[in-house]
Amino acid sequence: MNLPALDDLLGTLRVVTLPLLTRFRGVDHREAALFEGPEGWAEFSPFLEYDTAEAATWLESAIHFAFDPQPASRRDRIGVNATIPAIDAGDVPTVLARYDGCRTAKVKVAERGQTLNDDVARVAAVRDAMGPEGRVRIDANGGWNVDEAETALHALSAYDLEYAEQPCGSVEELAEIRRRLIDWDIPIAADESIRRAEDPLAVARAEAADLMVIKAQPLGGVRRALDIVERTGLPAVVSSAIDTSIGLAQGAHLAAALPTLDYDCGLGTASLLAADVTTTPLKPVDGYIPVARITPDGHLLDEHAASAERRAWWEARIRACHQELTSR
């Protein structure tokens, strides 16, 4: 790729820290670096624990979104799901109420320190709130081994699962649990086995999944994600990584460019944020978000600006990732 100069990224850099309404992935704030290019604003927000090699792909994605025209859109709005963190079952209605009109819910399960009973209660509460016509999917983030996944999915099958996302960590385990569940009508979706894999096509070759969950940032941008979808031949669901509305806009552009889109996407996660960088955040309305670029509001960038120490940390990370991309 033709990398812009480092100064072109740092010259417009804004780093924000946004509070979450519900603790997610062990954090209660989400940090993100934002910068502007000829095409508009983009977000660089790999999770803090990711090393430079992995985070550099996220920077490549942000550069493509800020500096390059995006593929043509096939649709102007995207149906999205509600995301239910690993909360107590009694809190489910409150969280669901943040997702206007959503008829699909993704429920986090296999949380460290919790039990299968906790998962069953949470999924049961979501099914009760969504009713028989609602769609309920679960996401284990690779938290089970094959035997644990088989036990858990048998228990959760009573709640009519749309699919189970990344029930196990490895491609081999996904293939095995898919074989074990062949008579249970629970499709398997791959996420980490694609976006964090050296070979994102291995899942398809191993027949380890029925569909794939893709994210624009970790896959290097919209065009690269579209190429992976085409090469795997699997149906795709576009998701996010608890992005600001700027990052969600890139996900919406990816979903809009897919040849077919048969599932609601995980792009409604602005509803998990207590604040955003725009006064018109990409929260679902009647179950959809629009396909649109987002320009941040200056006063919100100022209000939620990260500390000088955290800004310096993100600047150093961008420098390291830029160098990594230069050397590839």
Catalytic residues: 108, 215
Tell me the C-alpha distance between 168 and 170, whole Å.
Answer: 6
Q: Are strands 27-37 and 14-24 parallel, antiparallel or unpaired?
A: antiparallel
Q: How many residues are recorded in the chain?
A: 328
Closest CA to 87 of 112, 119, 117: 119
Positions of E strands within the chain: 14-24, 27-37, 40-44, 77-79, 82-84, 104-108, 135-139, 161-165, 188-190, 211-214, 236-238, 288-290
Tell me the C-alpha distance between 156 and 153, whole Å.
Answer: 5
88 is in an annotated binding site: no
The continuous run of DSSP H or E covering 326 comes out as helix 308-327
**Other Cβ atoms within 10 Å of 60 Cβ, number:** 23
Name beta bridge partners: 15.
33
28 is in an annotated binding site: no
The alpha carbon dihedral of 47, 50, 54, 60 has a sign of: positive
147 is in an annotated binding site: no
Numbered residues of the known binding site for Mg(2+): 139, 165, 191
Numbered residues of the known binding site: 139, 165, 191
